Amino acid sequence: MLKSKSILIGVGGGIAAYKVCEVVSSLFQSGAEVRVILTETAQRFIKPLTVATLSRHQAYTDKDFWQATHSRPLHIALGEEADLFLIAPLTANTLGKLAHGLADNLLTNTVLASRCPILLAPAMNTEMWEQPIIQRNWEKLKTDPRYHGVGPGSGLLACDRIGSGRMAEPKEIINKLNSLAYTQGKRDLKGKRILITGGGTREHLDPVRFLGNPSTGKMGLALAQAASDRGGMVTFIHGAIASELLPISPDYKIIPVVTAEEMKAAVMTHSEQSDIIIMSAAVADVKPSDYANYKLPKKELPTNLKLETVVDILSKLGNAKKPHQILIGFAAQTGDIVNPALDKLKRKNLDIIVTNPIDKKGAGFGTNTNQAILIDNQGKQKIVDSCSKLELSHQLLDFIVA
């Protein structure tokens, strides 16, 4: 979604500036046109030559701003050409200037000369971040529809403090920029409570062995991010997901579960107050009838495994659905993906079903891309060709809003 986009990056003076090098490189590799502005203090951490080499464009500093060497004022040209603007790391100093409309260097002047969405990635010491004046400035900026935030997260900081203030990781920043490229900053889900499930459940035979599935949770995570980026108040309930896939600085609530029974309990607790429910988790259909609380020796493993069905969470939600709620289910299919999905849509009283092939390359479990057909209960269908799971999430949200 960032291909051919003009992305302007403002780098503030903080140790987290080193992370921006990975962001610049990743954006270039994705096909974006990247321009970088370095503040005076940022140059103490990374050099203009570094980001110029990674972006394949000149890096701009205040020295360029104050020299009349351009046919147009530099801050005007940079601001007008940008499709997206990232400021990372956002320091306390730059945050204060932005919150009060001050402009005394190339970066802050360019902000005022631009109209595109701006993504802010704060990074500072915990004591600094938690100062009331910093929080007031941060909250003030977030009321402006142009400004969007990512992070900060918690962890080990450069000052050896463990706490909040850690800049979001490059992957999180790139994902946020992808969302902004798609939505252009619209928050059409603001005020909506959205419940999303993802990942796969596990039904254990003993503490070591279980019945499961290949779901990685990538689709659910993409849905949670997309809905949150559009202003939704998101609760994400997930089964098995690799820890490295989870964001360090999520702006939504995360509830981990293991079994289908645990997922049912969490979903039913949060579903009543939800406006939109998206059930993308791969929930088990059956579980072992007997559970051993110790690891079974090989000689004790059953040759015939007795199974019993687990509760159908989606059907339960369909039966309890309120008039204002929208319920979305997923159908991972092989072969014919439409007719089984239509049957599931009707049988479980869904409003929308997302049916996707798991027998095609680049679709289904564990992939970074997906394809699907979106079907609503009035018969409307939308084909989504192969794309990133984040883009599919946004297309589904467009379908829901429409």
Residue 10's alpha-carbon distances to 37, 42, 121, 247, 249, in angstroms, are: 5, 9, 10, 23, 21
Spatial distance between the Cα atoms of 60 and 78, rounded to a whole number of angstroms: 10
Angle between helix 170-183 and helix 218-229 axes, rounded to 10 deg: 60
Name beta bridge partners: 374.
Answer: 354, 382
Name beta bridge partners: 388.
Answer: 369
235 backbone dihedrals φ, ψ, rounded to 5°: -115, 125
31 backbone dihedrals φ, ψ, rounded to 5°: 100, 10
Instruction: Identify the residue whose tokens are 């599919």.
Output: 392
Q: Are 121 and 150 in contact (CB under 8 A)?
A: yes
Q: Are 241 and 199 in contact (CB under 8 A)?
A: yes
Kindly state the tokens that stand for 286.
Answer: 């059956």
List strand residue ranges (DSSP E) for 280-325, in order: 286-288, 307-309
* 263, amino acid identity: M
292 backbone dihedrals φ, ψ, rounded to 5°: -100, 130
Q: Are 167 and 247 in contact (CB under 8 A)?
A: no
* 32, amino acid identity: A
Angle between helix 389-401 and helix 170-183 axes, rounded to 10 deg: 40
Kindly state the tokens that stand for 352.
Answer: 């929308």
Is 21 a residue of the active site?
no
Spatial distance between the Cα atoms of 24 and 397, rounded to a whole number of angstroms: 29
Q: Are 95 and 152 in contact (CB under 8 A)?
A: no
Spatial distance between the Cα atoms of 191 and 204, rounded to a whole number of angstroms: 39
Question: What positions carry a catalytic annotation?
Answer: 159
